A and B are shown apart, each in its own frame.
Chain A
Amino acid sequence: MCPSLADLSYGVRARVVSLTPHPSCTISLMELGIVPGAEVCVVRCAPLGDPLEVDVAGARLALRRNVADLVQVEELSA
Chain B
Amino acid sequence: MTPPLLALRERQVALVGNPNVGKSTLFNALTGLRQRVANFPGVTVDVREGSSARPDGLLRVFDLPGTYSLRPNAADEAIVAKVLLGPAGDSLDVLVVVLDATNLRRNLYLLSEVVDLGRPFVVALNMADEARRAGVSVPRQRLQDALGVPVVETVASTGEGVEALRAALDGARPATRVWRFADEALELQLSGCAAANPWESLRALDGHEGLREQEVAGRYAWINEVLLGADPEALAALRSRSERVDRYLLHPLLGPLTFLLIMGGLFQAIFSGAGPLMDGIEAGFGWLGAAFEANLGEAFGPLATSLVVDGVIGGVGSVIVFLPQILILFFFIGLLEDTGYMSRAAFLVDRPLRAVGLSGRSFIPLLSSFACAIPGVMATRTISNRFERWLAILVAPLMTCSARLPVYTLLIAAFVPDRSLLPGVGLQGVVMLGLYLSGIASAVFVAFVMSRSRKQRGRLLPLVVELPPYRRPSLLATLLKLRVRGGDFLKRAGTVIFVVSVVLWVLMTFPRQAKPAGMSDAEHQALSLRESYAGRLGHTIEPVVRPLGYDWKIGVGVIASFAAREVFVGTMGVIYSVGDDADEESMDLRQAMQNERDPETGRKVFSLATVFSLLAFYVFALQCGATVAVVKREAKSWAFAIGQLLAFLALAYCAAFVVYQSMCALGFG
B352/A48 in contact, CB under 8 A: yes
B467/A62 in contact, CB under 8 A: yes
Residues of B within 8 A of A46 (CB): 250, 255, 347-348, 350-351
Q: Is B256 an interface residue (CB 8 A)?
A: yes
Q: How far is the CA of A25 from the CA of B459 in the complex (A)?
A: 9
B256/A64 in contact, CB under 8 A: no
Contacts of A1-35 to chain B: CB distance below 8 A: 19, 22, 24-33, 35
- A64/B459 contact (C-beta < 8 A), A27-B212, A51-B350 known: no
| Interface size, chain B (Cβ < 8 Å) | 46
Q: Is B82 an interface residue (CB 8 A)?
A: no
Chain A, Cβ-Cβ closest to B257: A47
Q: Chain A interface: which of B65-73, B149-157, B590-598, B636-644?
A: B65-73
Looking at B68, B109, B354, B462, which has the most chain A CB atoms within 10 Å of its CB?
Answer: B462
B213/A24 in contact, CB under 8 A: no
Residues of A within 8 A of B416 (CB): none
A58/B103 in contact, CB under 8 A: yes
Number of A-B residue pairs having CB atoms within 8 Å of each other in the complex: 124
Residues of B within 8 A of A24 (CB): 459-460, 462
Looking at A24, A37, A58, A66, which has the most chain B CB atoms within 10 Å of its CB?
Answer: A58
Q: Which of B69, B350, B460 contacts A66 (CB 8 A)?
A: B460
Q: Is B525 an interface residue (CB 8 A)?
A: no
| Interface size, chain A (Cβ < 8 Å) | 38
Q: Which of A26, A47, A57, A62 contacts B360 (CB 8 A)?
A: A62
Residues of A within 8 A of B246 (CB): 44
Q: Interface readout for A45-77 with B: 1 if CB under 8 Å, 0 if not?
A: 011111101011111111110110010000000
Chain B, Cβ-Cβ closest to A38: B220
Residues of A within 8 A of B167 (CB): none
Contacts of B126-142 to chain A: CB distance below 8 A: none
Q: How far is the CA of A2 from the CA of B348 in the complex (A)?
A: 29
A26/B213 in contact, CB under 8 A: yes
Shortest Cβ distance from residue A6 to the other chain B in the assembled complex, whole angstroms: 12
Extra contacts, 13 of them, besides A28-B68, A46-B350 (Cβ < 8 A), are A24-B459, A24-B462, A25-B462, A27-B216, A30-B216, A33-B220, A36-B217, A47-B251, A58-B235, A59-B106, A62-B360, A63-B463, A67-B462
Residues in B lying within 8 Å of A, measured CB to CB: 68-69, 71, 73, 102-103, 105-106, 109, 212-213, 216-217, 220, 224, 232, 235-236, 238-239, 246, 250-253, 255-256, 343, 346-348, 350-352, 354, 360, 459-468
**Could you list some 15 contacts between A and B, CB below 8 A?**
A24-B459, A24-B462, A27-B213, A33-B106, A33-B220, A35-B216, A35-B217, A37-B220, A46-B348, A47-B256, A53-B347, A58-B102, A59-B103, A62-B350, A62-B465
